[in-house]
Each structure stands twice: as structure tokens, then as C-alpha cells.
Amino acid sequence: MRTLKATSHCRALLGRRCASHGAPHYNEPGGWLFGEKPPPPGQKRVKEDWENIWYVGMFGSMLAAAVLLYYKPDTSIQTWALKEAKERMEAREEKYKYERPSS
């Protein structure tokens, strides 16, 4: 009987603790994009200090990654095996290119 009472007491505490009452814990949407009011007509939006740095860093790193990937050395096993096979066949003085027999 005692364990049943303790269990019901714990459930009551958990129910109160997990209930979703009270004020919301997040910023409710206000209808503006990113929470910024649009400027009056005829005026430009003023950028914050970090925005230009972010654009340069983001797109600059994408450009650098694209260039580095384009010029990346070929380290595949197939390329190495083809080169090794050609070298061994040349060392044995065999032809590795197919030549069509003349008829």
C-alpha cells in the first residue's frame, strides 16, 4: 500500500512539472521577416557590421573549396594500378596499346 501512495505522489509531481502552463519560452512570431520591420518607402535597410564579413567568409570559403577540389590530385587505386601495369609491361618490352592487325 505504501508503494502505491509513493507512486501516485511522484506522478502528481511529474504532472505538475511537465505541464505546459505559463508564458511561452520562445519568441512568438510577429509577422516580420527575421523580426525586422521593413524600412519606410524610399529608404534602404541598414546592414549590421557582421553581415559583410559573413558574406565574404561564406562565399569565399565556397570558392576556395571549389578550386581546391578541382585541382585535387588523383589518388585513386585505378589510376595507380594502370600506371604500374604500363611500367611493368614496358619493362618486359610488351605492348600495352592494342594495335589492329593489318589484313
| C-alpha grid cell, residue 67 | 578550386
The amino acid that residue 102 corresponds to is S
Task: Evaluate if pTM is beyond 0.85.
Answer: no
Other beta carbons less than 10 A from residue 89's beta carbon: 13
With a CB cutoff of 8 Å and minimum separation 6, the contacts of 32 are: 38
- Whole-number average pLDDT of the chain: 82
11-36: pLDDT as tens digits? 555 545 555 667 667 767 778 887 78
Q: What share of the chain is helix, strand, coil (3-state, %, to 5)?
A: 55, 0, 45
CB 27 within 8 A of CB 35: yes
Other beta carbons less than 10 A from residue 86's beta carbon: 13
Residue carrying C-alpha cell 553581415: 51
Give Cα separations from 103 to 55, 95, 100 (angstroms). Answer: 66, 20, 9
Provide mean pLDDT across the span 83-95: 91
